[in-house]
Amino acid sequence: MFGDHTIYIIGEAKAPSNNPITQQYKLFFIGLVVDRETGKIVDADCTTTIDLTRAFIRSLFVGQSILDIEGVSQQIQTRYFGSSQKALTVAFKNASLKYQSILSAASSVSSKRR
């Protein structure tokens, strides 16, 4: 389903204590399939209790760059008004940092092989 050039990254954050997501999962998670070379998000999913929420959140991420923290965060702030808005933003930032670490580690390994 996904090519060899893609990687899977999880971002996590704490959701509000009164949020059903917290009741069910304890934390908010977003899973992103990312093109390793371009940083483009090719698929996304998250812990939600409503399917429509999952579909809407997916539409916010697919096609965006995982490195565009400000742009994607702005989209979340102006388009998503669920109670987990802040958790969604934090989880995305967490995933972006993990991606950057993966790139750095791969770059280090590449440099050492030369």
Q: Per-domain residue ranges for the chain?
A: 6-113
Q: Where are the alpha helices (DSSP H) in 1-114?
A: 20-25, 51-61, 69-79, 85-113
Q: What angle is formed at CA 102 by the lines to CA 39 and CA 3, rounded to 5 degrees?
A: 50
Which CATH number is 6-113 given? 3.90.1010.10
Percent of the chain scoring above 90 in pLDDT:
69
Q: How far apart are CA 106 and CA 112, in angstroms?
A: 10
Q: Model confidence at 49, in pLDDT bands (50, 70, 90)?
A: confident
pLDDT in tens, 72-81: 999 999 999 9
- Residue range 51-67: mean pLDDT, rounded: 96
Tell me which of 7 and 24 has the higher pLDDT: 7
Specify the pLDDT at position 110.
Answer: 62
Q: How far apart are CA 14 and CA 66, in angstroms?
A: 20
